[in-house]
A and B are shown apart, each in its own frame.
Chain A
């Protein structure tokens, strides 16, 4: 069975500073990996996804993520955080063999200090 761990429950970052959110997954084959963002009271919005190919993936809102098979990780980064990036971020793993079902991590809440 697939699983996802996001070790950091909360992260506080100053506006303009860089941000890195950690994600570790467990899956027997090559996973499909995703990052979603959820603003308060909103649904989840897809930031980026990795299926295959280039291990550095670019997403929306200036985010990128790097797939590292050897570390079973898919960390999300942003070079310079804006106040509007305050939200909860979810990493997810999926597999076509599982009927496209996504398994989500517990989420990381990002607070942005002015």
Chain B
């Protein structure tokens, strides 16, 4: 157990639907990062939050959004889902000084 908790582990949904992925960071970590892993694109950085505020944005589609709550857990919202959004979505966390991520075990999203 890495200490980063992601739920759900698996999600199957239809095109056009909206889903929410949840991440609880390791205790004491203020930063949360979201990555998408697919066969054709590899590991792509989506977005980072630090202590509730957006810190950096990567290749995140406009249909996707995220937030970090006061208790530091984060949610990634994916809407108007397309077949191509099927992927593993990872959350990682880090603290301010211990540079280097701790990853969760991921959420496998399948869009049918």
**Interface residues in chain A, defined as those with a beta carbon under 8 Å from any beta carbon in chain B:** 32, 34, 36, 42-46, 49, 51, 90, 94, 96, 98-107
Contact = CB atoms under 8 A, between A and B. Distances in A.
A77 B105 CA distance: 25
Given A43-B90, A107-B42, A100 B99 contact: yes
Contacts, number: 53
B42 A103 contact: no
Grouping DSSP codes into helix (H, G, I), strand (E, B) and loop, the B interface class, with mixed when no group exceeds half, is strand
A51 B99 contact: yes
Contacts of B103: 36, 43-45
B56 A104 contact: no
B43 interface: yes
Nearest to B43: A104
Contacts of A49: 99-100
How many B residues are at the interface, by size bracket? 20 to 34
Contact of A46 (B33, B35, B100, B105): B100
Contacts of B55: 99
Contact of B101 (A46, A105, A106): A46
Contacts of A34: 100
Contact of B42 (A43, A46, A106): A106
Given A43-B104, A44-B90, A98-B56, A103 B45 contact: yes
Contacts of B35: 104
B58 A101 contact: yes
A45 B43 CA distance: 14
Contacts of A104: 35, 42-43
